Amino acid sequence: MDFKDLLTDRYAAKAFQDRTIPEETIQELLEMIRLAPSGLNIQPWRIKVVADRATKAELLALAPDEPQIGGCSHLLVFCAHTDWEAQTQKLGRTMKEKTVPDKIWGIVMGIAAEMATEPEDELYAWIVGNVYMAATYGLLGAEALGLDACPMTHFPPAEFSRVLGLPDAVKPVLLVAVGYAADEPKPKWRYPLSDILL
């Protein structure tokens, strides 16, 4: 498939058929998401996959503006992992296991330590940005697999954490509902390049 066509055809599905995505297709999608790049390769994302109808209904009740939460086949809850120290340690250990050269190891660990001293809001935004990269892989991966998806952020994260029993260090930042669309794409509009180029 032509990549530009993939970008053009993708849209945020507003309604889904009552049809479940096969498990192997979901696994393919997750394997694509897993490949997303991240700064330092720290991979600061965690994902909760919600397929259970009762849980989706409970989440929908908390975010009633987003009917796709209840109607989709699978809801991917993209979370930011906010414990920088724990993640840095894990990254350091794993780089050693992967026999990353010592010089690279030192540079990466040095930058990670420096980032720990940044203003909290900058580090948090950086982490969230990386999670959105993984979510973008999810949106495009869904399209490539013949699925439809919708990203959503209008939901109460703390309530979602409670319902899903998420650990304290992870925070839901973006939902991606995946399934088979029951609507038609509306005309896509974007600002012209002249508006976005500086």
Q: Which of 13, 21, 48, 147 touches its own copies (CB under 8 A)?
A: 48
Rounded distance between C-alpha atoms, residue 180 and residue 147, angstroms: 6
The single residue listed with the structure tokens 């849209």 is 11
Provide the minimum distance between the beta carbon of 195 and its own copies in the complex, in angstroms, as a whole number: 8
Q: What are phi and psi of 116, to 5 degrees?
A: -65, -20
Q: Which letter does DSSP use for residue 122 in this model?
A: H
Provide the minimum distance between the beta carbon of 18 and its own copies in the complex, in angstroms, as a whole number: 24
Please choose, out of 17-25, 44-52, 55-63, 67-75, the segment that lies near its own copies by the rule CB under 8 A: 44-52
Rounded distance between C-alpha atoms, residue 136 and residue 74, angstroms: 16
Torsion angle defined by CA atoms of residues 87, 36, 49 and 184, in that order, rounded to the nearest 10 degrees: 150
Q: Which of 57, 86, 89, 94 touches its own copies (CB under 8 A)?
A: 94
Give me the 98-137 binding string for its own copies, x by CB under 8 A, dash otherwise: x--------x---x--------xx--xxx-xxxxxx-xxx
Count of residues in contact with its own copies, rule CB under 8 A: 69
Taking CB under 8 A as the rule, does residue 54 contact its own copies? no
Provide the minimum distance between the beta carbon of 34 and its own copies in the complex, in angstroms, as a whole number: 5
- Three-state secondary-structure class, residue 182: coil
